[in-house]
């Protein structure tokens, strides 16, 4: 090849670079999307819990989106906390995702001292789900919910949920 | 095309077409190894043997394993362990080799540190080796998940959750990695892909690179002596094998290696036959249960030091959250040894016992790592938490502060 043909080589090189870059970008998007949760996983996102049978002071664990959800019905000894409590009727409940905000272990509810204790790295949360000791960086998360009579629908953002996260 | 003549032998036939003799000489027959090295230099070959064992036992397990959250546990604990003939043997070989390979990797790496084999021309050997360590960690972790027991499940939960610490995209990233809101079937199947396909391919490639990086600077030796390999090789080829400081990889060095490999294999199969339990966590014989965390979770022994660094920082410092400092420190610990050639500011290549400050530093590092490993397994409460904290800080300080200081001193003293 003669030296004068250099521009042609450059053009071929740039053309290849452009096609490869576009193709590569599309391939990456495709690969990223293949790893996303499937539609069937996303759709199975709602759980309804009837709160009316709960006794004051009772602790309950339900499952939502494969995550444990902690529900406590507060009794008269437990102080109301307007920025954490879910009010259904005129009862106050604590509803949180039962995964430690540190690395995601499930803390266990210790009814005697009214605390959630995480065995993994020693994190502790009080009954309102506030982190009080150890590595957890923030209080237990509140799952999106909607109130429907005495029922709690997990997975949908109702007005009560929006108000609660706004104050938290 | 080369000029092909009628072959005089089978070997000649291949020589003319694919230069068999030349290839053999490059790979073994005239690949030169210094004479003054000891059994610690056999670890590379031991690792190669272990990797081969893992590969073969893995293939046999793969024929019966079912990558499905509902079937995985039984396919391992019932089908492979009870039904498949010798299934238990492959499983125990696989599990013990996965554990022991880390022991040998650690010895291999710390021999490199002790003799200064990571510096002055040998940086690429060190870096490709650290890269292998990192990919092996990913390989071990993804494999640990596959039996889908309680420990598998919660290890996956905790490790994937670590990515949640990344600002802004953390939460979404965790869901993306898991393919679900929690660790579940899609997580299992993608880790299966990584463990049996993508990562092994990458490992084999990087092993190739690691071997190749030895060709130019050659392996170090017991004295850190700079050998002129070409000169010494010439001597050897001229027949002066006694005065030459080198021997060919084959037969000289490998025959010695095979001896050590044989000793090691006796030890290895003793473990496989009588003490396979150490590589099997009892909690992992409970099927995965997403609704119940085991009361005390910890990783396999070879990750304990990093795990302890993760939880060593248990209180907030200023605006930094304890969890973030811990995650950062652990992320750094994972890659920290890559930079050994940078921390060591002296260009003396000599065994540690001939470099006083470095010698003390080396053993302090080993002691610190042992403390981290021991406390990584203990519950992180009270007094233990403080030991964890100080040894974590100690690890970072030893690498980032102490090593540069003593090696700069050493350099100045040598002037
Ligand atoms: S996961 Fe709960 S303290 Fe670490």
Please say whether the beta carbons of B215 and B31 come within 8 A.
yes
**Which of A38, A104, A135 is facing B158, going by the closest CB pair?**
A104
Same domain as A78, residue A5: no
Tell whether the model's pLDDT for residue B363 goes beyond 80: yes
Same domain as A50, residue A30: no
Instruction: Indicate yes or no: CB of B380 within 8 angstroms of CB of A122.
Output: yes
Same domain as A122, residue A66: yes
For atom 1 of ligand 1, the residue with the nearest CA is A103
Q: Cβ of B388 under 8 Å from any chain A Cβ?
A: no
Tell whether the model's pLDDT for residue A120 goes beyond 80: no
For atom 4 of ligand 1, the residue with the nearest CA is A121
Domain of A57?
A: 44-167
Please say whether the beta carbons of B330 and B310 come within 8 A.
yes
Instruction: Indicate yes or no: CB of A122 within 8 angstroms of CB of B290.
Output: no
Q: Cβ of B170 under 8 Å from any chain A Cβ?
A: no
Nearest CA in chain A to B323: A135
Instruction: Indicate yes or no: CB of B158 within 8 angstroms of CB of A134.
Output: no
B315-332 pLDDT, tens digit per residue, is 777 777 777 788 889 999
**Superfamily in which the B31-297 domain is placed by CATH:** Cytochrome Bc1 Complex; Chain C (1.20.810.10)
Mean pLDDT over B365-373 rounds to 96
pLDDT of residue A2: 55
Residue of A43, A39, A150 lying closest to A93 (CA atoms):
A150
Sort out which chain B residues have CB atoms less than 8 A from A35's CB and list them: 176-177, 179, 190
Same domain as A90, residue A9: no
Q: Cβ of B392 under 8 Å from any chain A Cβ?
A: no
Best mutation target among B165, B166, B291, B294 (most A Cβ atoms within 10 Å) is B291
Higher pLDDT, B283 or B321: B283
Instruction: Indicate yes or no: CB of B181 within 8 angstroms of CB of A120.
Output: no
CA distance B307 to B67: 27
Tell whether the model's pLDDT for residue B338 goes beyond 70: yes
In chain B, domain spans: 31-297, 304-415
Same domain as A144, residue A160: yes
DSSP B415: -
A162 to chain B nearest CA, in Å?
A: 19
Least confident among A145-149, B16-20, B264-268:
A145-149
B105-148 pLDDT, tens digit per residue, is 999 999 999 999 999 889 999 999 999 999 999 999 999 999 99
* φ, ψ (nearest 5 deg) of residue B68: -145, 130
Place of tokens 């106050």: A92
Identify any residues that bridge with A117 across adjacent strands, giving them in sequence order.
Answer: A108, A124
Sort out which chain B residues have CB atoms less than 8 A from A65's CB and list them: 181-182
Distance A160 CA to ligand 1 centre (A): 29
Nearest CA in chain A to B289: A66
Distance B306 CA to ligand 1 centre (A): 16
Same domain as A89, residue A125: yes
DSSP A100: -
User: B199-205: which pairs have CB atoms within 8 A and are 24 or more residues apart?
Assistant: B199/B135, B199/B138, B199/B139, B199/B142, B200/B55, B200/B58, B200/B139, B202/B135, B203/B51, B203/B132, B203/B135, B203/B136, B203/B139
- Joined tokens for residue B155: 């290890």
ipTM associated with this complex: 0.77
Tell whether the model's pLDDT for residue B371 goes beyond 70: yes
Identify any residues that bridge with A48 across adjacent strands, giving them in sequence order.
Answer: A153
Same domain as A131, residue A78: yes
Mean pLDDT over A66-77 rounds to 88
- pTM for the model stands at 0.87
**Which of B176, B182, B292 is facing A66, going by the closest CB pair?**
B182
**Which of B179, B323, B381 is facing A136, going by the closest CB pair?**
B323
Nearest CA in chain A to B153: A105
Residues in contact with ligand 1 by the CB-under-6-Å rule are A 100, 102-105, 118, 120-123, 134-136
CATH code: domain of residue A110: 2.102.10.10
Average pLDDT, chain A: 87
Number of domains present in the structure of chain A? 2
Q: Cβ of B185 under 8 Å from any chain A Cβ?
A: no
Which SS3 state, helix, strand or coil, does residue A86 take?
A: strand
Nearest-atom number in ligand 1 for the CA of A134 is 3
pLDDT of residue B127: 97
């Amino acid at each position: 090849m003669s030296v004068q043909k250099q521009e042609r080589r450059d053009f071929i090189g740039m053309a290849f670079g452009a096609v490869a870059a576009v193709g590569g970008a599309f391939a990456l998007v495709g690969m990223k999307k293949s790893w996303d949760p499937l539609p069937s996983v996303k759709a199975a996102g709602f759980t309804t819990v009837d709160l009316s049978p709960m006794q004051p002071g009772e602790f309950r664990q339900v499952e939502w989106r494969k995550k444990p959800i902690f529900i406590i019905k507060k009794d008269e000894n437990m102080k109301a906390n307007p920025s954490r409590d879910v009010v259904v009727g005129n009862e106050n409940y604590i509803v949180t995702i039962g995964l430690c905000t540190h690395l995601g272990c499930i803390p266990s509810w210790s009814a005697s001292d009214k605390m959630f204790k995480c065995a993994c790295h020693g994190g502790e949360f009080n009954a309102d789900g506030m982190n009080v000791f150890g590595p957890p960086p923030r209080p237990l998360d509140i799952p999106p919910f909607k109130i429907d009579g005495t029922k709690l629908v997990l997975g949908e953002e109702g007005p009560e949920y929006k108000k609660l996260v706004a104050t938290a | 095309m080369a000029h092909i003549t009628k072959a005089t032998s089978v070997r000649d036939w291949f020589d003319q077409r694919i230069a068999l003799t030349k290839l053999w000489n490059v790979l073994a027959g005239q690949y030169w190894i210094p004479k003054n090295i000891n059994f610690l230099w056999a670890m590379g070959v031991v690792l190669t043997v272990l990797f081969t064992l893992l590969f073969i036992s893995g293939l046999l397990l793969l024929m019966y394993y079912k990558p499905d959250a509902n079937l995985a546990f039984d396919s391992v604990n019932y089908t492979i362990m009870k039904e498949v003939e010798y299934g238990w043997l492959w499983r125990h070989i696989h599990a013990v080799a996965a554990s022991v390979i880390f022991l040998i990797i650690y010895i291999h790496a710390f021999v490199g540190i002790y003799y200064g084999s990571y510096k002055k021309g040998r940086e690429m050997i060190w870096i490709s080796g650290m890269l292998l360590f990192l990919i092996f960690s990913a390989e071990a972790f993804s494999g640990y998940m596959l039996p889908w027991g309680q420990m598998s499940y919660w290890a996956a939960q905790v490790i994937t959750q670590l990515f949640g610490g990344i600002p802004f995209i953390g939460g979404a990233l965790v869901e993306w990695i898991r393919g679900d809101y929690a660790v579940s079937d899609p997580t299992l199947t993608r880790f299966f892909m990584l463990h049996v396909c993508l990562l092994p391919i990458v490992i084999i490639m990087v092993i190739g690179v690691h071997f190749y990086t030895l060709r130019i600077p050659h392996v170090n030796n017991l004295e850190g002596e700079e050998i002129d390999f070409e000169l010494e090789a010439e001597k050897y080829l001229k027949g002066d094998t006694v005065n030459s400081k080198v021997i060919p990889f084959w037969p000289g060095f490998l025959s010695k290696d095979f001896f050590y490999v044989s000793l090691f294999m006796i030890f290895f199969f003793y473990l496989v036959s009588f003490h396979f339990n150490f590589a099997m966590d009892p909690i992992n014989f409970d099927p995965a249960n997403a609704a119940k965390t085991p009361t005390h979770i910890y990783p396999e022994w070879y990750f304990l030091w990093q795990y302890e660094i993760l939880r060593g920082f248990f209180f907030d410092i200023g605006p930094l959250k304890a969890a973030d400092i811990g995650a950062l420190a652990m992320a750094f610990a994972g890659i920290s040894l890559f930079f050994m050639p940078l921390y060591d500011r002296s260009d003396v290549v000599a065994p540690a016992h001939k470099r006083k400050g470095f010698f003390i530093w080396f053993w302090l590092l080993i002691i610190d790592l042992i403390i981290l490993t021991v406390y990584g397994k203990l519950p992180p409460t009270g007094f233990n938490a403080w030991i964890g904290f100080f040894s974590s800080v100690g690890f970072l300080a030893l690498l980032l502060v102490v090593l540069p200081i003593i090696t700069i001193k050493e350099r100045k003293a040598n002037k």
